[in-house]
Amino acid sequence: MTLAEISKIIEAEVITGKERLDTEVKIGCASDLMSDVLAFAKPDAILITGLATQQVIYTADVADINAICFIRGKQPDPQTVKLAAKKDMTLMATHLPMFVSCGRLFAGGLRGLGYLDINLKDGQR
């Protein structure tokens, strides 16, 4: 699924990185907990989160994630957008809540970690 398709499915407005909308995304990663993102995220993922701080950008950067979608109408401040642009990331924002965003994307064909090579053990979370 490309970033352009994702933004269409969840009615997200692209904030920065429009030039990379044809990038292919393999998995979705939805979390408000940055430690979980660091622990589980894989490259070529889109991060769907209700947090819109600079730490989200740093987290994504360290976890090799190049696309982030903010949900529930959260908007990052200009400094956060600038940081993302500097790191060649695409940011988008939707008014939809987390559950609906993920549901629509899953229905649209995007999969999460559980469908790939990782089975989360009970003890992990």
Partner 1 sequence: MAKDKTFTKIQELTYELKVRDAMIASAITVEPKQSVSELREVMRVNRISGAPVVDQGRVVGLISIEDFIKCQAQGELDARVEQKMTTNVDTLYADEPLVHAVRKFDQHGYGRFPVIEREDKHLVGILTKGNIIKCLLKKLEIDYHEEEIHRYRASHIFEDIIADRTRLLLEYDIAAKDFDRAGQSASELKKTLYRLGISPEVVRRVAIAAFEAEVNIIVFSDGGKLTVSVCSDRITLAASDRGPGIPDTELAMQPSYSTAPDWIREMGFGAGMGLSNIKNCADEMSLVSQVGKGTDLEVIIHLNGTKRSQSTETTESEGHATPEPRTREQP
Give the footprint of partner 1 on this chain (CB under 8 A). Answer: 16, 18-20, 32-36, 38-40, 42, 49, 51, 53-59, 61-64, 85, 87-88, 118, 120-124
Angle (CA) 73-74-76 rounded to 5° is: 140
Nearer to partner 1, 11 or 88 (CB): 88
- Nearest-approach distance from CB 48 to partner 1, in angstroms: 13
Beta carbon nearer to partner 1, 109 or 121: 121
Q: What is the DSSP string of 39-103?
A: HH--TTEEEEES--SHHHHHHHHHTT--EEEE-TT----HHHHHHHHHTT-EEEE-SS-HHHHHH
Residue position matching structure tokens 């589980």: 40
Is 8 or 18 the residue whose CB approaches partner 1 more closely? 18
| Distance of closest approach, residue 70 Cβ to partner 1, in angstroms | 12
Provide the token pair at 113.
């970690």
- Distance of closest approach, residue 11 Cβ to partner 1, in angstroms: 23
